[in-house]
Amino acid sequence: MKSRSIKVDYLARVEGEGGIRIKIHDKSVSEVEFNIFEPPRFFEAFLRGRHFAEAPDITARICGICPIAYQMSSIHAMESACGVSVTGPLRELRRLIYCGEWIESHALHIYMLHAPDFLGYQDVLQMAVDHGDAVKKALKLKKSGNDIVNLVGGREIHPINVRVGGFYRLPTKQELQGLVDNLKWSRDAAIETAKLTATFTFPEFERDYEFVSLRHEGEYPFNEGKLVSNRGLDIPISEYENHFAEEHVAYSNALHSVHRVRGAYVVGPLARFNHNFDKLTPTAQQVAREVGLNPPVKNPFKSIVVRSVETIYACEEALRIIQDYEPPEKPAIDVQPRPGVGFGCTEAPRGLLYHRYRISDKGLIVDAKIVPPTSQNQKSMEQDLREFVPSRLNLSQEQLTWQCEQAIRNYDPCISCATHFVRLDIQ
C-alpha cells in the first residue's frame, strides 16, 4: 500500500490565509482539510453594543475585496429590523454600486487570480510578459468597476457613502454619465473575456451540487429575493437559519456552513447563473450560449466563464441604471430604530452573504450573526478535492498540487471573510 500526501501550506492567489492538506492512502483519499489559519477577528462579538447605523462601516472591514457586499447585507438587515424598505432611485443606486463591485472583483479573479492557472503562469505579471494586451485590458476592465464604486461609494475599498436608509450624498446625473463610455468599452471587453476564457482547457469534472442563490422575479439578484435551490428550497431569507447551520471543526478558524438535512451546498456564480439565467440581459444570454455555457453548469472549473458572463451583465445593468437615473429628493430615507430582528442576504461576487441582527429600542446591536460565502462553500471545496484527486494520481506531485489549488480557486475563496474561516495541506 502506498501513501502519498499533498500539502499546500499557504495557498496563493486567494484573499486571506489558508492551506490544503490531502492524505492519499492506497489510491483513495483518506483525508481532506481546507484549513483556514487566518486569525479570528471576532466581529460578531464586538458588534454588540454598537449603534445599528455603524454596522455598514464596521462590517465592511471584514473584507477589503467585497466591502460593498457587507455594507449591502448589513443595511438591508437593519432596514428590515426597523420596518422600512428603500425603493426607487436609491434602490437602483445600490444595485449600481454592487455592479461596480462585481466588475472589479470578477475581473480581479478572472485575470489576476484564476487565468494564470489555466495558462500555466505563476501570476498575472508573468502572464503579462506573453499576454500584455490582455492584461492591460483586464486592468482597465477592473478599473471601470472600481470607478463606479469610487463615485457612488467615495472610494474603492471600504466606501464611505453607504448608510442605513440610503446614501450621504447623491451622485449627479452628469457624474454618472461620465462613466458611460468606459462601461460600454468594458461590456465589450467582458464579452471578449467570456470568449477567451471559454477556450481554456477544463478538467472533466462535474458534480451534482445543491446550488443555493437568491432568486428575484424581476431581476438578476443582488440585494433582494428568495432563497432557492435545485433541491426544492424556496424560502424567504428570514428562514435561512431554519435550514442552514454552522459547524466548528478543529483545523479551521472558519465555521463550516451546511444544509441541516442535506449537508454541503454551493453558493456563487454557478448557483446564480443556473437559477437566474432567464434574468440575464439578452446579450449576456446570447454570449453564454455562443460559448457553450448552458444552465445548469456543474463543472466548477467553468466558473471563470460564468464570472465573465456575469461581468457582461453587470456592465449592461450599470449602463441601464445610469441611463434611467433621476436623482431622488433626498439621499436617504429616515430610519428610526425599534426593538427587533432584521435579516439581510445579498449576492457578494463569490456568493450569498447572510447577516442577522437583533437591535434594542435605543438602536444598539444586541447580537449579530454573519455567514460569509466562503464558509458556505468550504465543505463543497473539500468534497471536490476528495472526488477530484483519485482519478489524477498519475500526475506528478507538482502538477497535482497545482490542480488542487486551482480547484479551490474555482470558488474565489475569500478567507479573510470566512474567519470565522480556512489552510490546504494535501498529504
Partner 1 sequence: MKKPKKPKLAVWKFSSCDGCQLTLLDCEDELLAVAENIEIANFPEASRNIVKGPYDLSLVEGSITTPHDAERIHDVRRASKVLITIGACATAGGIQALRNFKDVREFTSIVYATPSYIATLNKSTAIADHVFVDFELRGCPISKHQLVEVLSAFLNGRKPVTPTYSVCVECKRRGTVCGLVVTGGPCLGPVTQAGCNALCPSYHRGCFGCFGPKETPNTSSLASYWQTKGVKNPDLLRLFRNFNAYAEPFRKESEAHEK
Binding residues for partner 1, rule: CB under 8 A, are: 10-17, 38-46, 48, 50-51, 54, 57-58, 61-65, 67, 108, 112-113, 116, 122-126, 128, 135-136, 139-140, 142-143, 146, 154-158, 160-161, 163, 168-169, 246-250, 253, 255, 331, 367, 402, 405, 414, 416, 420
For residues 98 and 139, what is the distance between their CA atoms, to the nearest angstrom? 19
Residue 329 CA, distance from chain mean position: 32
Q: Which is nearer to partner 1, 25 or 163 (CB)?
A: 163
Q: Which is nearer to partner 1, 258 or 414 (CB)?
A: 414
Q: Which three cell numbers stand for residue 303?
A: 466558473
Residues 6+ apart with CB under 8 A from 328: 88, 89, 90, 170
Q: Give me the least distance between CB of 122 and partner 1, in Å please.
A: 4
Q: Which is nearer to partner 1, 128 or 333 (CB)?
A: 128
Q: Which is nearer to partner 1, 168 or 397 (CB)?
A: 168
Q: Give me the least distance between CB of 402 and partner 1, in Å please.
A: 8
Cβ neighbour number for residue 130 with a 10 Å cutoff: 11
For residues 258 and 23, what is the distance between their CA atoms, to the nearest angstrom? 23
Q: What is the amino acid identity at position 300? A: P
Q: Which is nearer to partner 1, 27 or 48 (CB)?
A: 48
Q: Which is nearer to partner 1, 146 or 378 (CB)?
A: 146
Evaluate the omega torsion of the peptide bond into residue 327 and state whether it is cis, within 30 degrees of 0.
no
Q: Give me the least distance between CB of 99 and partner 1, in Å please.
A: 17
Q: Which is nearer to partner 1, 116 or 269 (CB)?
A: 116
For residues 245 and 253, what is the distance between their CA atoms, to the nearest angstrom? 16
Q: Give me the least distance between CB of 65 and partner 1, in Å please.
A: 6
Q: Which three cell numbers stand for residue 319?
A: 449602463
Which among 91, 94, 105 is positioned nearest to 269, based on CA atoms? Answer: 105
Q: Give me the least distance between CB of 225 and partner 1, in Å please.
A: 27
Q: Give me the least distance between CB of 96 and partner 1, in Å please.
A: 16
Whether 420 and 16 have beta carbons less than 8 Å apart is answered as no
Residue 244 CA, distance from chain mean position: 18
The helix/strand/coil state of 40 is: coil
Residues 6+ apart with CB under 8 A from 323: none
Which among 265, 202, 195 is positioned nearest to 407, based on CA atoms? Answer: 202
Q: Which is nearer to partner 1, 54 or 192 (CB)?
A: 54
Q: Give me the least distance between CB of 200 and partner 1, in Å please.
A: 18
Q: Which three cell numbers stand for residue 53?
A: 447605523
Q: Give me the least distance between CB of 241 and partner 1, in Å please.
A: 14
